[in-house]
Amino acid sequence: MRINSKRVLLTALPFALALATGCWRRTELAATWHEPNATLLNFNRTVAVFVTTDESLRRASEDQLAAVFPNTIPSYRILPNVANIDKGTILQELRKQGFDGAISMRVTNVSQQLTYNAAYGGPYWGGAYGFAGYWDNAWAYPYNPYYVTTTQIVSVETNVYSLAQDKLVFAALSQTSDPANVGKLVRSVMRHINEQLRKDGMIVMSPAPSLPSEADAEVARH
């Protein structure tokens, strides 16, 4: 649960731009890992951590995480000021409060992907293809035989820890195309995480998706 404020701050601006301009999303798990001989997760109390220097964004995102991961409480409720947390005692503090599991999420990269789409599909000659049809098609792309689309790719790292054993038990790197807002990004990533955990035999079933909440309205502004 180490928080690297410098790296998060560097990604804050492009991340905000991606969320402001995106309207379509598609999430893929680029890489996953779980501990050898992974067993069923049976945490009694899990803390959710979304690493960001934006406090309102952190709170809204952790609410989303808590809504889709079993037995989870947002970290801001017990650790309201992360700047004053002693990393040397954070594990002991969480254990004292009864936490035996943790799920953390942070944005690791925001990039742009350019796609060149060919507009010219080749000639067509036929009896029904008259001058009017040729004129309309020929002037559609007279000097630019392709068009370019830009896709925002948001990469997110998600880790699951056993606090009782102080070790990483599951990790995933996901990539989401043009997320509409942080709430939808978190839910989209967690749907894939839960599905992978189920395939790995680490959870029995995925939690039911949460209904839109006040958190959605808050994250939509970021």
In this prediction, residues 14-27 reach a mean pLDDT of 49
Please determine, for residue 17, whether its predicted confidence score (pLDDT) is greater than 70. no
Q: pTM for the full model?
A: 0.70
Q: What is the structure's pLDDT at 119?
A: 63
115-172 pLDDT per residue, tens: 877 666 666 666 667 777 777 777 766 666 677 888 899 999 999 999 999 999 999 9
183-199 pLDDT per residue, tens: 889 999 999 999 999 99
Which is higher by pLDDT, 35 or 13? 35
Kindly state the tokens that stand for 218: 């808050």
> What is the DSSP secondary-structure string of the chain?
----HHHHHHHHHHHHHHHHH-----EEEEEEEE-TT------SSEEEEE--S-HHHHHHHHHHHHHHSTTEEEGGGT-S-GGG--TTTHHHHHHHTT--EEEEEEEEEEEEEEEEEE--------TT--HHHHHHHHTTSSS--EEEEEEEEEEEEEEEEETTTTEEEEEEEEEEES-SSHHHHHHHHHHHHHHHHHHTTS-SSPPPPPPP-HHHHHHTT-
d(C-alpha 175, C-alpha 157), whole Å: 9
Q: What is the structure's pLDDT at 6?
A: 38
In this prediction, residues 100-122 reach a mean pLDDT of 85
Which range is most confident: 4-13, 33-42, 131-140, 209-218? Answer: 33-42
Kindly state the tokens that stand for 191: 């749907």
Please determine, for residue 15, whether its predicted confidence score (pLDDT) is greater than 50. no
**217, 62, 157, 168: CA torsion to nearest 10:** -170
What is the amino acid identity at position 68?
V
Q: How does the average pLDDT of the chain come out, rounded?
A: 79
Please determine, for residue 77, whether its predicted confidence score (pLDDT) is greater than 70. yes
Q: What is the structure's pLDDT at 219?
A: 43
Hey, which residues does 12 pair with through a beta bridge? Answer: none
d(C-alpha 160, C-alpha 167), whole Å: 9
